[in-house]
């Protein structure tokens, strides 16, 4: 063998040895790795494999219903067929959405929303793609699941308001959870999970929301559910029952449908709110799926403010509806009696200015009952100055003016029940006599809400009991005994006589609009709130009628009514923004409302079970 051949043999042998050693080393590493995976880390990888095979899913609870006093649904839930996507289970999010788009319409804005959500939240959390699908579309998605990795068809519930605009301001609406509202609760991260955003839906959100459940399911490699392994059902939210009567609510809302208005109907003994309408309104169903920008801009831009609950959030000068408070303060202090009179010639000097009565011919010599029924301004200018602002303030407070009742309604305004302390604190100057005269006829600094006026009316006519408004129905509290405010029954009788004469005396401001039913009488008080000041020149030339003015310049019409006079049951407060006169506009609305209530009560009395009517 040649030396060169020996060298080649040695080199081959050495290389073969190295190669064999390397193969043995690799084999040892592979065997070691296999031992590590199959023996040492067996439990860990069994768990991971199990997690790939087993899927845990959160079950959203059904939201509790909001019902009227008789159990009729105002807010409920309906079946919702929807589709979600789980980003980490897709082969490519955009590719999956493109394929899904063959079965479910996905707009460019929805596509952008989904992509943004995927970038922000954890990849294993589902993202809503589409909801409120019809059964055909939903079935089509399920049939094509093998081509849709990461897509998760789901059957849930969606909030639905069957009465639509009827009680929207009171009930509110639900909406998607914002980033600011996330608090670590995984329930809030579920797609299409909604929480209360406004009204009672928001006030009682946790009560209505319920508790989440969960289900453990076995899935194949495509993510399709093979079988359910275990399940813990969710717990539905609690139902909420209101004192509202849908029939009364409908009548009230329909009566002022074309106005910018509010009506409150209250039981004068229990304080239960039977109706609370604010118009114009909105459809809360629009917010459930995300309101369009066009509709939102339309609601916000409407001069009649459909998004504001005028019944509790609107603050208005009460004008002549406040005169009962001034009269009662004077009677309680012994400043006047029912027989004492004052003279009205339509003019009254307050400091350096002349104030006028609405009746340009004056009312002549009148007593407090006549002053109330004929709404004489001069009488109450003078009476307020005699009583003083502190006594007026105290009496107004006893009747709920300037008070926030905190009954569970959002955005409830307090109004203003002014006095010297209030003016010093808010304007830094002392109270003046002219301020008192203005408050005497319900203008100046004083402001109230329709709810406060309804409460005031209830306390006046129920014998001076400090009834408080209630919106949540409770059988046990239906006959709650309220505190007696300690006001003289005789003085209350005098004031109520004035309110009765408003409708029933020929010189009463609402006499033309008195009850058309001869079986009962109604009582109340008109109020007309000036929106623009009347100048001296205008007064001399003749004040323009409301119908001659632009809508925004017309007076607000107010009325506080009750019935029946013989045994009061209901207090009604009516506000019509820029409606015109309280007597010609608001009082007939109150009359119609009270007649509806009392006629219905009469019908119920004669409908005896088991007998023909």
Each domain of the chain, given as residue ranges in start order, spans 55-241, 246-279+297-318+404-411+442-606
Side-chain-side CA neighbours of residue 198 (13 Å): 18
Angle between helices 93-100 and 108-120 (to 10 degrees): 150
Look up residue 333 and give its DSSP letter.
T
Helix residue ranges, H only, 256-400: 285-288, 293-301, 323-332, 368-374, 377-387, 389-398
| Residue (of 221, 492, 511, 539) closest to 354 by Cα position | 539
CATH of domain 55-241: 3.90.1310.10
pTM of the model: 0.82
pLDDT at 612: 45
Q: What is the mean pLDDT of each run of 10 residues along the chain (613 residues)?
A: 60 68 71 64 51 67 94 91 84 85 85 83 78 85 84 83 95 88 80 87 93 74 62 87 97 95 97 97 88 89 94 95 98 97 95 91 97 97 97 98 94 96 96 96 96 98 96 75 93 98 97 93 94 57 65 91 97 95 95 97 71 42
Query: How many Å separate Cα 390 from the centre of its chain?
Result: 35
pLDDT at 351: 85
CATH T-level topology, domain 246-279+297-318+404-411+442-606: Beta-lactamase (3.40.710)
pLDDT at 611: 46
Residue 402: both structure tokens together: 């300037």
Antiparallel, parallel or unpaired: β 66-67 and 341-344: unpaired
- Phi, psi (degrees; rounded to nearest 5) at 231: -155, 135
């Amino acid at each position: 063998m040649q030396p060169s051949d020996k060298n080649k043999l040695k080199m081959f042998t050495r290389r073969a040895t190295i190669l064999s050693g390397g193969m043995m080393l690799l084999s040892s590493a592979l065997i070691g790795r296999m031992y590590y995976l199959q023996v040492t880390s067996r439990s860990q990888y069994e768990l991971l494999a199990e997690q790939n095979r087993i899927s845990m899913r959160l079950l959203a609870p059904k939201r509790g219903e909001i019902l009227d006093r008789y159990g009729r649904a105002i807010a409920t839930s309906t079946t919702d067929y929807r589709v979600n996507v789980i980003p980490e289970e897709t082969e490519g999010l955009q590719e999956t959405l493109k394929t899904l788009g063959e079965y479910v319409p996905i707009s460019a804005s929805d596509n952008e929303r989904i992509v943004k959500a995927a970038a922000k939240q954890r990849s294993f959390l589902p993202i809503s793609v589409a909801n409120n699908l019809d059964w055909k579309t939903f079935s089509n998605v399920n049939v094509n699941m093998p081509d849709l990795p990461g897509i998760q068809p789901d059957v849930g519930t969606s909030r639905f308001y069957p009465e639509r605009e009827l009680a929207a301001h009171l009930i509110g609406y639900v909406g998607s959870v914002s980033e600011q509202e996330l608090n670590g609760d995984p329930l809030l991260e579920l797609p299409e999970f909604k929480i209360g955003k406004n009204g009672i839906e928001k006030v009682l959100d946790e009560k209505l929301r319920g508790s989440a459940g969960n289900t453990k399911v076995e899935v194949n490699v495509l993510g399709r559910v093979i079988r359910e392994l275990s399940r813990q059902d969710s717990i539905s939210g609690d139902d909420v029952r209101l004192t509202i009567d849908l029939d009364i609510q409908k009548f009230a809302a329909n009566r002022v449908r074309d106005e910018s208005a509010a009506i409150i109907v209250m039981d004068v003994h229990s304080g239960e709110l039977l109706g609370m309408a604010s118009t114009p309104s909105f459809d809360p169903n629009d917010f459930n799926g995300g309101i369009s920008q066009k509709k939102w801009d339309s609601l916000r831009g409407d001069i009649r403010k459909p998004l504001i609950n005028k019944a509790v959030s609107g603050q208005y000068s009460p004008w002549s509806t406040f005169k009962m408070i001034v009269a009662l303060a004077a009677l309680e202090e012994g400043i006047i009696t029912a027989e004492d009179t004052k003279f009205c010639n339509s003019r009254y000097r307050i400091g350096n200015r002349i104030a006028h009565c609405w009746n340009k011919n004056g009312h002549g010599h009148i007593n407090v009952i006549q002053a109330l029924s004929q709404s004489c301004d001069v009488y109450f200018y003078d009476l307020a100055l005699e009583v003083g602002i502190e006594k007026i303030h105290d009496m107004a407070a006893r009747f709920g003016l300037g008070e926030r009742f905190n009954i569970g309604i959002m955005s409830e305004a307090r109004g203003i029940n002014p006095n010297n302390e209030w003016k010093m604190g808010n304007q830094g100057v002392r109270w003046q006599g002219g301020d008192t005269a203005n408050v005497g006829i319900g203008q100046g600094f004083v402001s109230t809400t329709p709810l406060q006026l309804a409460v005031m009316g209830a306390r006046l006519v129920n014998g001076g009991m400090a009834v408080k408004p209630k919106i949540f129905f409770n059988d046990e509290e239906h006959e709650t005994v309220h505190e007696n405010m300690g006001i003289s029954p005789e003085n209350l009788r005098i004031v109520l006589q004035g309110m009765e004469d408003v409708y029933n005396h020929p010189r009463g401001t609402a006499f033309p609009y008195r009850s058309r039913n001869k079986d009962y009488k109604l009582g109340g008080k008109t109020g007309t709130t000036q929106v623009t000041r009347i100048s001296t020149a205008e007064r001399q030339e003749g004040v323009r009628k409301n119908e001659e003015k632009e809508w925004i310049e017309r007076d607000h019409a107010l009325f506080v009514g009750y019935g029946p006079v013989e045994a009061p049951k209901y207090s009604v407060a009516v506000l019509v923004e820029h409606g015109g006169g309280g007597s010609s506009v608001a009082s007939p609305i109150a009359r119609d409302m009270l007649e509806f209530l009392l006629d219905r009560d009469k019908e119920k009395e004669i409908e005896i079970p088991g007998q023909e009517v």
